[in-house]
């Protein structure tokens, strides 16, 4: 082979090798930091779960996971941003059960949808917290029956805070209002953190929230739990009855799960599923969840999809029953 031809062949082979290496490096996931959108302010369930979960996932992915709080519209703004993000695995979402509520609320309110459920794919269910009806320790109500009877005497007089219109905390409280045939005055905030601050500061009378967000305040004697929306009593609060035990047919869990944009490639989804499974088993994450009394409830993507489908149907029916609700301040 002539020298010139041999040199050209070697050059071509080098170019192919370099291109192949570049393509392989580009395809390797992850090769840069990842953004985890938490669609609520600091202090709520998604935030206090998402941050330690991200820290544990980092160990197994080998890249930094940056938590970004994107609050507003009951979580809708952050969830919509994640749904519309580039499906490359570098934008993830830590969402609550309200992810299923917002699209149905959009239909009820006859507004343009912020996103559709099909725009997101589930990676892993991380936790499932029974909701608690909580009031200040100095309130006149000792039981949920006291609360309901007072609400019947004074329609729209008792105020409650939430994470936003049609957010998880709002829908939970309205499910009690429907079951008990009472009217309460809703005061929406941008997330559970500010909503709890409003309760403790005396700006509202009650809240429906996850155990993990208020357990320390209950133990400190500042807040009182009247009842829970779970099927069973919370293990850490055996004296607090369920709504069903109290005579009200209302069940609501604030679950927390990891999602990615729907068109994310399957190899990336596989990597994320494996990292999520390892993260929920990480002693550091388990310790963080135990510290805030939040039970880990892991489901891998296939089982989580079935769980989500069933829960979304139930919540859609509940939102239809609640109907059109405008913000009241």
Same domain, residue pair 146 and 121:
no
Q: Is residue 157 assigned to a domain?
A: yes
In which band, very low, low, confident or very high, does the pLDDT at 327 lie, cut at 50, 70 and 90? low
Mean pLDDT of the residues in the chain: 90
Same domain, residue pair 141 and 215:
yes
Same domain, residue pair 153 and 96:
no
Q: What is the pLDDT of residues 108-144, one digit of tens each?
A: 989 999 999 999 999 999 998 889 999 999 999 999 9
Q: Is residue 134 assigned to a domain?
A: yes
- Global pTM? 0.80
In which band, very low, low, confident or very high, does the pLDDT at 329 lie, cut at 50, 70 and 90? very low
Q: Is residue 5 assigned to a domain?
A: no
The confidence score (pLDDT) of residue 10 equals 53
Q: From CA 226, how far away is CA 240, in angstroms rounded? A: 6
State the Rg of the chain over Cα: 23
Q: Is residue 20 assigned to a domain?
A: no
Q: Is residue 311 assigned to a domain?
A: yes
Nearest to 121 by CA among 83, 84, 88: 83
Find the CATH number of the domain harbouring 68: 3.40.190.150
Q: What is the pLDDT of residues 11-35, one digit of tens each?
A: 444 444 444 433 443 469 999 999 9
Report how far apart, in Å, the C-alpha atoms of 294 and of each of 125, 131, 134, 173 are. Answer: 13, 11, 16, 20
Q: Is residue 248 assigned to a domain?
A: no
Identify the domain containing residue 201 by its residue range: 130-228
Q: What is the pLDDT of residues 66-123, one digit of tens each?
A: 999 999 888 899 999 999 999 999 999 999 999 999 999 999 989 999 999 999 999 9
Same domain, residue pair 167 and 125:
no
Which string of DSSP letters, residue by residue, matches 277-311? HHHHT-HHHHHHHHHTT--EEEEEHHHHHHHHHHH
Same domain, residue pair 293 and 276:
yes
Same domain, residue pair 74 and 122:
yes
Domain total of the chain: 2
Find the CATH number of the domain harbouring 155: 3.40.190.10
Same domain, residue pair 120 and 142:
no
Q: What is the pLDDT of residues 200-241, one digit of tens each?
A: 999 999 999 988 889 899 999 999 999 999 989 998 899 999
Same domain, residue pair 124 and 200:
no
Question: How many other C-beta atoms lie within 10 A of the C-beta of residue 178?
Answer: 16
């Amino acid at each position: 082979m002539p020298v010139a031809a041999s040199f050209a062949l070697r050059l071509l082979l080098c170019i192919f090798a370099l291109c192949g290496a570049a393509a392989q490096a580009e395809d390797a996931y992850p090769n840069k930091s990842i953004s985890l959108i938490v669609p609520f302010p600091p202090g709520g369930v998604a935030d206090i779960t998402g941050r330690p979960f991200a820290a544990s996932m980092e160990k197994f992915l080998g890249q930094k996971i940056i938590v970004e709080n994107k609050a507003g519209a009951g979580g809708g703004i952050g969830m919509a941003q994640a749904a519309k993000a580039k499906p490359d695995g570098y934008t993830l979402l830590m969402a609550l059960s309200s992810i299923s509520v917002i699209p149905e609320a959009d239909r009820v309110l006859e507004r343009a949808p912020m996103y559709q459920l099909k725009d997101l794919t589930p990676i892993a269910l991380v936790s499932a917290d029974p909701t608690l009806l909580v009031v200040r320790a100095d309130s006149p109500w000792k039981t949920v029956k006291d609360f309901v009877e007072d609400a019947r005497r004074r329609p729209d007089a008792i105020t409650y805070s939430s994470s936003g219109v049609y957010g998880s905390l709002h829908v939970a409280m309205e499910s009690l209002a429907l079951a008990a045939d009472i009217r309460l005055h809703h005061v929406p905030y941008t997330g559970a953190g500010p909503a709890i601050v409003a309760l403790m500061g005396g700006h509202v009378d009650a809240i429906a929230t996850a155990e993990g967000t208020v357990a320390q305040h209950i133990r400190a004697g500042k807040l009182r739990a009247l009842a829970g929306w779970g099927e069973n009593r919370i293990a850490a609060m055996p004296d607090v009855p369920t709504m069903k035990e109290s005579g009200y047919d209302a069940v609501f869990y604030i679950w927390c799960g990891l999602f990615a944009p729907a068109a994310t490639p399957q190899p990336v989804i596989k990597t994320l599923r494996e990292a999520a499974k390892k993260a929920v088993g990480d002693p550091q994450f388990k310790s963080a969840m135990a510290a805030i009394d939040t039970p880990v409830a892991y489901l891998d993507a296939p089982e989580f999809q079935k769980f989500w489908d069933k829960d979304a149907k139930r919540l859609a029916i509940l939102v239809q029953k609640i109907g059109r609700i405008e913000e009241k301040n």
